[in-house]
Structure 1
């Protein structure tokens, strides 16, 4: 709790000569604000509290054991209770040292009420102050109701809207997804130390303020956390609830805007892939989608991943996305995605773009290919071939992400499918038919041997066969193809043919 202006703090109650209250522990917390005073003899009244209450008790619900007393006080403090007022001379058990020490540590005021002072006197004192404060709270509520009108009439962005709501409400406002990420642009997520509610039905009170769900179809879109601002007059739970409703409406608006941009982006990307836009129109369209005109872009082809997973991985990075059968095409700024060789930047806490690439690689079963960077507005014909080739290479190698050019040999293969097929038939045709007829693995054996730099023992272990068996397969392959694998020219031709077969999906 924070100190607030006005006459509604624990210290103000202490100053009232009629109440004759005495501080037993937790003097550091006398600046906590008070919203109500309530009698409770329950050992755990927290499910029925809203926060900032003075709990008054004759001591019936206060445990006797030291550990239980400490847990009792911690529950009240965690629920946002302003102070505990114990009636002297009735049923209060001896207060343990751990109880009093915890109150001091937490700055949680523990007060003693003389037997001659009825609890109703404290309640009336608090009620009178609350009545004086009601006008200010009502005014804050009415102004919060006008929040959406501000959006329309003043053109406030999300950050400006919530800064104004903070000033009106007396709270610091945070918004987060259920996973703790920022829910709306311009509004920070709460500090990592804040424990978000486990469900939408959790009590709204947390130490120092409130945590409320932001409603959305199908379940909460996230949570609003409101902490009392030092020196302000917090307007209470009702106002925070209204702010959560404003947040829900803003989330709906932002999602609608994003969906509109996604559809427009898909249309633009389809036209770019068809090469029907002139460069100037293309650059203007990309700028409207948030892609800077002075920064190169890359084309990404993603296989075996759902659209939403890719969108979540890219986060706030602008991008265009188009689904074509099993392939998802993504156009985004260069540097947002990185090949595995660059992953250490993200893993060691690199920038947001590197982290987006890391998140993309972590999608289960993903196989993605990235083109070389190119200026925005350029033709995507070559980039499309590069990204498709890299995606095939990623799927073939079982890697999540491959950038075009990583395979220094394969990138020199022609793009013409007919030329590739002719190369495969000319070099590997007889072996492919032999493998099909006999159920053998000659091509797989040669490919594994080549990928392991012609180390027979390593390749044999990978194939789970004896080295002598692999040596026989290599000789048999040479006899069928008429190629000597010890000759540089024949070796290169065979390797290119195997790469071509893989690119055609024949392996």
Structure 2
């Protein structure tokens, strides 16, 4: 375009001079605009200020400019180096003056500069936004990668623990190490089995407390960790049977999402372990019941020893049979479960027999002869409640083949105790005394055993020394413990009688001042006479 062309001589008037300050003001506003449309609008609005300039319209049909040789035209291409270039055609009814041409050129230059500046700002904003989005995406990817790395670590840790056969204690310790929180494992009844970490409560409160059933039900329905007060709880339930509860102790509510993930994964590993151990326990219990039932029915010693060794039970030590009956409203399975919990808590073992193997409603246990039956009774009473429970204890056995007799004695002790004035507690067959021969099931063998129990040391002494200690005691008891009558009946001096009675006390270890002791000794001495009479016949 030739902006310096001479004005058309046909024009008989001079256009008004453009205000340079106004043009500069317009171009300044252009640089403050936020988009190209506003800049172009300012340019179009400023054209009349420079002269008779307008923007040539474009045909809506052909998109071409109208061709008219009588007007002045100037095509302007505005390129912002980023968007599509803008093409404008300026027109005037006559050529511009040099001043108008200069101002028009200045406006065009500033418009192009403003478009490029706006384009640069737009590009910078776009790049900044893209950079920010990329940074956020990288941050998210980094966080996800870190999370996946932590999850992989948890998977690897518990996977290795499961592969090496780690028990529930190892699982709890590992979860505590990963989360930094104390960990507890309860059994299905709410008893604390394992605690890992500091601050173990001196007085334990089971999960849910009095609302345990509701908490377990909600946790089952949720299927994921559930917060219960200061604990994050996850139930261990691989099938329909509740095996226990695993939880994180979180009184400060600082557990993160990754801690919950670790809890869920640890619960999965624990469920596999507990289900496996439960299956082994059920198999062992079944084998134990089978062996126990055979022992009560009678089996040879060699077979009993080999089967017990396979189960890991020591039958080589002296054994005895205990039988338990706990009221009519307490199922025998409940009694057996309480008995097993006591065995677990005391790290002891027994062969339990119940159900169809022997008498219905009675739990039998083959145990080490040194086991304290009173401790067992107290443990059962604590678990089952103060019902009318009885524990009968049979005689000690030196070999497995004697266990049927011990079982018979235990049942007799239980039945005698149930019919007594105090039908609850522990009844030891060895301490039944006179009741052993008064029982309707007694036999000659029972009477002989009773005599041997109470008079055995005296009979042995008389055989070895050819003395009459047994006869002296019998006469003393027949005379009601009166020294003068006894000495006269035996035709010995009173001092001799005192010496003999002193020796009898030493040999038997019995306190003759006890009414029960004197009664048992008296019955034993009379039973001896009956047995001796039978032998003479």
Instruction: Flag the structure with higher helix content.
Output: 2
Work out which structure has the larger RCO, using CA pairs closer than 8 Å and 6 or more positions apart in sequence. 1
Q: What's the TM-score once normalised by structure 2's chain length? A: 0.44
Greater Rg by CA: 2
Q: What's the TM-score once normalised by structure 1's chain length? A: 0.46
